[in-house]
Each structure stands twice: as C-alpha cells, then as structure tokens.
Amino acid sequence: MNADASLSAAASPSPIRESIRVALLGLGTVGRGVFRMLEENSASIRAKAGLPVELVRIGVRDLGRVRGIEFPHLTDDARSIVQDPDIDVVIELIGGIDQALDLVERALEAGKSVVTANKELIAKHGGRLLRMAFERGIDLHFEAAVGGGIPLVQPLKHQLAGNDVVRLMGILNGTTNYILTQIAERGVSFEEALSHAQAFGFAEADPTNDVEAYDAAYKIAILGSIAFGGPIPVEQVYREGIQGVQPDDVHFADVLGYAIKLVAICEPGAGGRSVSARVHPLLVPKEHPLAGVRNEYNALWFQGDFVGDVMFSGRGAGAEATASAVVGDLIDVARNLKIKGPGSVIPWGDPIEVEPIGLARSSYYLRLLVDDRPKVLGEIALALGEHGVSLSAMEMRVFDSANHVGEIVFLTHEVEERLFQRALADLEQLMVVKKVCNWLRVVEK
C-alpha cells in the first residue's frame, strides 16, 4: 500500500459490520434444508463466519403452500427481495432458468453476492454471470450445483488448479446411480427403483432430467469449465441416458467383472484447446474406484498431471447434503464481506470447443443374437477387424436351441468411436447376425 492510500484508509475507517443479512429464494427440499441448518447450527456458523449470519427474508412462489416453517418475513414478491438495500446475500434455490436468471441478474446488478444451487443456470449462463459478479467485485458461488454436499467446485478452482487436467470422470447423478445399483444388486425393475428414488427425495419431480442425463451434462459442463478454464457449451456435451441399459446388460457386465454406471467425462481433446465432454452409461471394472460408488452417492475421480488420482465421494443430492454446500458458500461470502474483500470470483476465459463423440476413444461391449453355427464367430471377428476393432473377451449362452440362436457378448480393445460405429454398421448387414441387442462403452481393465 502506498503512503497516500494507507493515510486515507486510516483517516476514514469503514464501519464494522455487525451481521450479514441473507435472503432465501425458494423453500423447496433444499430451501428447507438450508433454513434448518441456519437455525440449528447458527452458533457454529456465526463463529466460523466471524459475525452473525441472519436470514431476514424468504421468497416463495405460493404463500398458501408454506408448511411447517415458522418465519415472519415470507413474501411472494421475489423482486422486492433482490432490490432490498438491507440484504447483502441472496441464496437462489428456485431452480430452472426463467425466473431464477432474472432474479440472479437483478441481485448482482444491485451489488448483492449470490449463492446458488442451480446447475442449469450456471451451465448455461455461468460465464456471463461470473463476469457480472467479477466486474462488481462481489461473489457468485455455486458449490451445491454439482455433487450435492461433496466439495468439488472449490477444490477444482483452488487446490487442484495448478494441475494440467488429464481427465475428470464423475458419477454426478444420484437418481440414475441409485437405479443402476438397485437393478444390479437387488434385481428390481427400472420403474421400481425410480419410484424409490422419488420417494427418498433425490430424484427430480420430472425424472427426464436425471434418466436422460441432462442433469449430469449440466454438472460436467460446469466442472469442465472450471478445470479447463473456459465455458464448455452445455448443448455440445454428448449425452446418453440410462434408458437403453437392459437387465441383461447388467447381468453380462457383472459376469465379465464390470459395473454399469452413468459416467460424465471431460478430458483434453485431440486438437488445440478442445475437450471431449460426454455423459453416457459405461462399464467400469469392479476394481475401479468409481465402481464401488453405490446408490444415491456421487463421486468425482480427478486425474491431474502432478497430483495424480484424487477421488471425491459423498451424498450428491438431498436436502441436508445440498444445504451443507450452500451454507459453506454462504460462510465464505460472509467472511469476505466481513473484511470488505473484493469477492473471489474467477471469470472463465474463452469458450472451449467440444470434440465430436466420433473422435473419443473407448473400449466397447457388444451384445448380439447370432446364428449358433460353425464359422459364425470368425465372420463377426473379421467384420470388426476390417475396421481395426480388436476383441478382448467374450461370453456366450444358448438363447434358443431349437432355432440355433446364441446370445453372444464381446468386449473390444480401445478404438476410436467412429471406427467402432462403422464396424457396427457392417455387422448389422451380416446374415449370421440376427440382432444387435445393445452396445455400451467400457473402461478397459
């Protein structure tokens, strides 16, 4: 600090803040969790923040639907909250885009720091919102948007930032992980497992987002944007859900020593500043750290050039786990406001290009119904080999002995996806192949 600056700072000391005043937007599952945590842990939150953190207003959509919360300052006028000069921090837990984007923008414009759990908002508009916060010297934190209670955003932004990222691999959706675990371990149907997930409160009201992997795509876009230092356009993330995984695939994967997981991956692409960013079902060897992540648990397996392999895991959804991340962010903002700091937002750089899925390299699992006759295996191996697809394992069972139909499962060595697709197209033309039942990507052992 130069002499003039130190003199002027000494001449006009800023008033000491007595508390941080917080407003909550949304009182759904996570909102209630945050409300309860702020009440039940208020003493330790105050001690860690260094000053009281007071919840002063809550915005809800429908005042008539608020049950079981004793709070005098509820309103259905959310805009009045983001314009209220007495509020320092807005916690956005509405979800979706329309209303949430409008309110977050207004809050930032009004100079309020924002904490949000909204993955869609950050995946689609994070780059712009972070810049808004950065230019105003305020905070925008979103730890709860990815992995529920597991700290992922902050470690990627800070402790792991010195690494060149080799690969991110995550189980980032609790609902689908729960469904796949229940099918594998208890033999229940997809529908039964989904309705349990909804009853436990970690499946979204509309399961499409989870099952068709939109949720995991938002999350890997966010983590990849932080890890690779530029916004990854979420609409370019390759996305396949678990709706095509059949109980027979789960069975064969198990026999071959694999678990099927919905895995989100982000890794450097072949060219320049591009990445491969994708979410799809994946056969993971049972000895891989991600294979043991069960039920609604989430995990991120981070590989960095210096740190090596780091695994994070924990509850990726639910009121309490998500509240833990929201309140952690809030304490961070409060500490910063206490010292009148400039905010710790790091704007993302230029957008990063996502490579087409055809360039990704993987091993494959392939399940076919075939003629159960001599020379059939040779014909199939030849068709695959023409495109450089090499086999590494095989399992077979008689499917229909009267009609000489066998069910056969192959695993391949690693190959570029576009070559595998060409081989698949040729296989479909073979007379001996009755049906291509399914194919999935595999992490080679």
Q: Does residue 175 bind ligand HSE (CB under 6 A)? A: yes
Q: Which is nearer to ligand HSE, 175 or 276 (CB)?
A: 175
Q: Is 219 a catalytic residue?
A: yes
Instruction: Record the tokens describing residue 144, joined without a space.
Output: 């709860």
User: In the complex, what is the shortest distance from the CB of residue 204 to ligand HSE, in angstroms, rounded to a whole number?
Assistant: 4
Structure tokens at 306: 């210096």
Q: How far is it, in rounded angstroms, from Cα 113 to Cα 111? A: 7
Measuring CA to CA, which residue among 253, 170, 270, 307 is closest to residue 442? 253
Set 112, 124, 219, 434: catalytic member: 219
Q: Should residue 123 be labelled a site residue for ligand HSE when binding is judged by CB under 6 A?
A: no
Give the β-pairing of 361-371 and 433-442: antiparallel
Closest distance of CB 419 from ligand HSE, Å: 33
- Name which position in 88, 92, 143, 215 contacts ligand HSE (CB under 6 A): 215
Which span (83-91, 158-166, 173-181, 260-268) binds ligand HSE, by CB under 6 A? Answer: 173-181
Q: Which of 84, 210, 240, 332 binds ligand HSE (CB under 6 A)?
A: 210
Find the shortest distance in angstroms from Cβ 211 to ligand HSE. 10
Between 217 and 389, CB nearer to ligand HSE: 217
Cα separation, 35 vs 33, in Å, equals 5
* Residue 174 touching ligand HSE (CB under 6 A): yes
For β-strands 415-416 and 361-371, DSSP reports them as antiparallel
| Choice between 90 and 203, CB closer to ligand HSE | 203
Identity (one letter) of the amino acid at 353? Answer: E
DSSP code string of 256-321: HTEEEEEEEEEEE-SSTT-EEEEEEEEEEETTSGGGG--TTEEEEEEEETTTEEEEEEEE-SSHHH
Indicate the residue among 280 and 434 with the shorter CB distance to ligand HSE. 280
SS3 8: helix
- 26 or 174: whose CB is closer to ligand HSE? 174
Minimum distance from CB of 154 to ligand HSE (Å)?
A: 17
Hunting for tokens 């071959």 — which residue is that? 256
Per CB under 6 A, does 126 bind ligand HSE?
Answer: no
* Count of residues that bind ligand HSE according to CB under 6 A: 10
Other residues' Cβ atoms within 10 Å of the Cβ of residue 382: 12
| DSSP state, residue 396 | E
Write out the binding residues for ligand HSE, residues 190-209 only, by CB under 6 A: 202-204
Q: Which residues of 46-60 are buried (b: 16+ CB within 10 A; e: fewer)?
A: beebebebebbbbbb
Up-side HSE of residue 378: CA atoms within 13 Å toward CB? Answer: 3
Nearest distance from C-beta of residue 210 to ligand HSE, angstroms: 5
**Closest separation in Å from C-beta 299 to ligand HSE:** 12
Any contact of residue 116 with ligand HSE (CB under 6 A)?
no
CA dist., res. 31 & res. 91, Å (int): 9
Q: Which is nearer to ligand HSE, 119 or 288 (CB)?
A: 119
Segment lying near ligand HSE (by CB under 6 A), choices 171-179, 275-283, 411-419, 424-432: 171-179
Cβ neighbours of 120 (radius 10 Å): 22
Query: Is 427 an interacting residue with respect to ligand HSE (CB under 6 A)?
Result: no
* Per-residue binding letters, 293-332, with ligand HSE (x by CB under 6 A): -----------------------xx---------------
Q: Report which residue type is found at 229.
A: G
Closer residue to ligand HSE (CB): 8 or 243: 243
Structure token pair of residue 425: 């197209």
Q: Provide the β-strand partners of residue 416.
A: 361
Smallest separation, CB 202 to ligand HSE (Å): 5
**List of residues contacting ligand HSE (CB under 6 A):** 173-175, 202-204, 210, 215, 316-317
Name the residues annotated as catalytic. Answer: 219
